Amino acid sequence: MKLQYSLIGRQIDNSLSSLSSFRLSDDVRYRPILDMDTIAESFRRGGYGGVDRYRDLKGYINSDLLISFRSKIELIKNMSNVQIESFKSVAERSAEWKREMDHFPGISPVSVNFRLGDGFKFRYKHPVLGTSRWHYGQDFRVPYGTEIYATGDGTVIESGWNSGGFGNYVIIDHGYGLRSTYGHLSEIKVSKGMNIKRCDLLGLSGSTGTSSGPHLHYEINQFGQHKNPIYFFNNDMSEEEFSEMIQAFGSKSKFR
């Protein structure tokens, strides 16, 4: 019996140490980077306190051993429960963050190796109308028929002809208050209400609407305010890397 008990005791110690290493990675690795508070040690250990719950085990020769075992097992139960709950919340949080990252319009709609046209600025002379007005987006000087990709996951909320000057255009709602607009397309490949993933084909570039030549007009709105799209993508990719990325996303996507 004693041998058995000591074996079990070793196992208990092992599981305690592995639990504490879980706790370490939880507290040090996952929670800090996801902006979550760490769980207090007292909360992890739980403990009911007060009432002597091991009264019925007292009075035997090996009472101490038994009681310490029982309390350790109790502790493991508590800690593992807390740990499971904590990991659940961490997984939830990380899925949430991942979802947000996927929906964030964080890439450029065409390869950044195309020349950038007019940026987000006040134009004193509109190239077609000749009047001065704000230019609320970023222009990419792409040739006619270049494929335009979605910059983040989201839902198509508008697609079709815009008489205001965008020509054939698509608006994607990414959630989190973010919307992106793609204007002057020659052909639209998505329809209103479609759920799309990042790097899905939206259409082909063109020169429809008030445009003086083939280009893509890319706009980003956050909570109804125009934002400078230049802050939503980096120019750190080559042409090959961009097409590689499109393919990598395309193989996962249900469209195309």
CA-to-CA distance for 16 and 133, rounded, in angstroms? 68
Query: Does residue 90 interact with another protein by CB under 8 A?
Result: no
2-31 residues near another protein, rule: CB under 8 A = 24-25, 28-29, 31
| CA angle at 26 for the pair 21 and 30, rounded to the nearest 5° | 140
Beta strand pairing call for 121-123 and 133-135: antiparallel
> Among residues 25 and 68, whose Cβ is nearest to another protein?
25
Q: Should residue 120 be labelled a site residue for another protein when binding is judged by CB under 8 A? A: no
Least CB distance to another protein at residue 38 (A)? 9
Q: Tell me the helices (H) and strands (E) count for the chain, helix number first.
A: 5, 12
Relative to beta strand 216-222, strand 178-188 is: antiparallel
Q: What are phi and psi of 217, to 5 degrees?
A: -105, 120
Query: Contacting another protein (CB under 8 A), which of 14, 18, 20, 234?
Result: 234
What part of residues 94-113 is at the interface with another protein (CB under 8 A)? Answer: 97-98, 101, 106-107
54/74 Cα distance (integer angstroms): 11
45 or 98, CB closer to another protein? 98
Q: Which of 170, 144, 34, 138 is nearest to 92 (CA)?
A: 34
* Three-class SS state of 197: coil
Chain center to CA of 159:
25
User: Is 230 among the residues that bind another protein (CB under 8 A)?
Assistant: yes
Q: Is 176 in the site for another protein (CB under 8 A)?
A: no
- Least Cβ distance, residue 100 to another protein (angstroms): 9
Look up residue 185 and give its DSSP letter. Answer: E
C-alpha 34/C-alpha 29 separation (Å) is 9
Does residue 116 touch another protein according to CB under 8 A? no
Q: Which is nearer to another protein, 169 or 242 (by Cβ)? A: 242
Nearer Cβ to another protein (16/245): 245
Q: From the list 8, 116, 157, 248, which residue makes contact with another protein (rule: CB under 8 A)?
A: 248
Residues near another protein (CB under 8 A) are 24-25, 28-29, 31-35, 97-98, 101, 106-107, 230-234, 236-237, 241, 244-245, 248-249
